[in-house]
């Protein structure tokens, strides 16, 4: 069973979401760094589209680039992908420049990365994953592993196929898959 990293595509060609400057603190991004646990916000978190001063604004994708390992979906993407994504986590409302979008917080955690055979970076962070095949489920699964939870979101082959089909049928733009592992 292959494993794919779920990413947002078109990063340099579509508008990037950021935490508004007034709310950027040392722990600002921690509200979004999923470790597989439920997130509870008293109100929707605010995000904004980043734009370079004096440059034409970039177009917006249905699945917007934000933080590594995270997805922010507009209503069209939520309608198309939400039924599958919601089986593996939370779709939390976020306020994006006055428009309600949804942050996907994966709460399904598989312990499937073998740290002893994975390629690591200085400091011990996992660079290229070595997956434990027997830990990857056969049924569609969207998940995180604690070894890479703050930066990567994964799908097995069957979940990838379902997400790609749903995205294509609805014309959802901005979702890509990169094969993970050694």
pTM of the model: 0.89
- DSSP, collapsed to helix, strand or coil, labels residue 36 as coil
Token representation of residue 65: 């680039």
How does pLDDT run across 60-99, given as a tens digit for each residue? 899 998 888 889 999 999 999 999 999 999 999 999 999 9
Q: What are phi and psi of 17, to 5 degrees?
A: -90, 140
Pairing of strands 89-96, 71-73: unpaired
How does pLDDT run across 127-171, given as a tens digit for each residue? 899 999 999 999 999 999 989 988 899 999 999 999 999 999 999
Pairing of strands 89-96, 45-50: parallel
Spatial separation of the C-alpha atoms in residues 128 and 85, rounded to whole Å: 25
Question: pLDDT at residue 10 above 90?
Answer: no
Spatial separation of the C-alpha atoms in residues 41 and 74, rounded to whole Å: 19
């Amino acid at each position: 069973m292959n494993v794919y990293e779920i990413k947002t595509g078109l990063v340099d060609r579509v508008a990037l979401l950021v935490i508004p400057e007034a709310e950027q603190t040392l722990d600002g991004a921690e509200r979004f760094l999923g470790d597989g646990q439920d997130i509870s916000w008293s109100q929707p978190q605010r995000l904004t589209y980043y734009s370079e001063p004096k440059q034409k604004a970039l177009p917006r994708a249905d699945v917007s680039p934000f933080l590594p390992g995270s997805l922010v979906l507009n209503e069209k993407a939520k309608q198309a992908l939400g039924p599958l994504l919601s089986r593996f986590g939370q779709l939390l409302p976020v306020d994006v420049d006055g428009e309600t979008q949804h942050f996907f917080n994966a709460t399904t955690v598989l312990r499937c990365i073998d740290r002893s055979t994975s390629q690591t970076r200085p400091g011990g962070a996992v660079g290229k994953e070595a997956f434990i095949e027997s830990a990857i489920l056969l049924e569609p699964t969207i998940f995180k592993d604690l070894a890479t939870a703050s930066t990567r979101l994964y799908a097995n082959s069957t979940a990838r196929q379902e997400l790609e089909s749903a995205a294509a049928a609805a014309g959802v733009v901005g979702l890509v898959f990169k094969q993970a592992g050694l």
